[in-house]
C-alpha cells in the first residue's frame, strides 16, 4: 500500500492540484485498488477537483456539508467530541 502526504504552510504552491494529479495517476495505473484522499484543507480544493471540478464539485461539497449529521471529517470529529468512547456511526458511507 502506497501512502503519500503533501504538506506546506504556504498557500498557492500547488498542493491541491498535485494531490489531484497523484490520486488520478495512481487510480489510472492501479485500476483494481481503491484510492483514499483525505483533504484536510479548509477550502477543500482537492475534494472539489475529485468530485467533478469547480462547478460540479462545489455543488457536491455543498450537498455533503448540508447533510445532518454532516458526512465529513468535521462531522466525524464533532460526533467524537460529543461521545469520545463510543463509535458514533457517522461519516461518509
pTM of the model: 0.69
pLDDT at 64: 81
| 93 pLDDT more than 60 | no
Give the position of cell 449529521: 69
User: Angle 5-76-72 (CA atoms, 0-180°, nearest 5)?
Assistant: 65
The least confident of 16-25, 27-36, 57-66 is 57-66
- pLDDT band for position 82 (50/70/90)? confident
| In the chain, where the domains are located | 1-50
Amino acid at each position: 500500500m502506497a501512502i503519500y502526504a503533501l504538506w506546506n504552510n504556504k498557500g498557492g504552491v500547488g498542493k491541491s492540484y498535485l494531490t489531484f494529479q497523484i490520486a488520478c495517476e495512481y487510480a489510472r495505473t492501479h485500476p483494481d485498488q481503491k484510492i483514499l484522499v483525505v483533504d484536510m484543507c479548509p477550502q477543500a480544493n482537492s475534494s472539489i477537483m475529485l468530485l467533478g471540478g469547480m462547478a460540479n464539485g462545489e455543488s457536491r461539497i455543498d450537498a455533503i456539508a448540508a447533510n445532518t449529521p454532516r458526512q465529513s471529517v468535521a462531522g466525524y470529529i464533532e460526533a467524537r467530541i460529543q461521545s469520545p468512547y463510543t463509535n458514533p456511526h457517522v461519516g461518509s458511507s
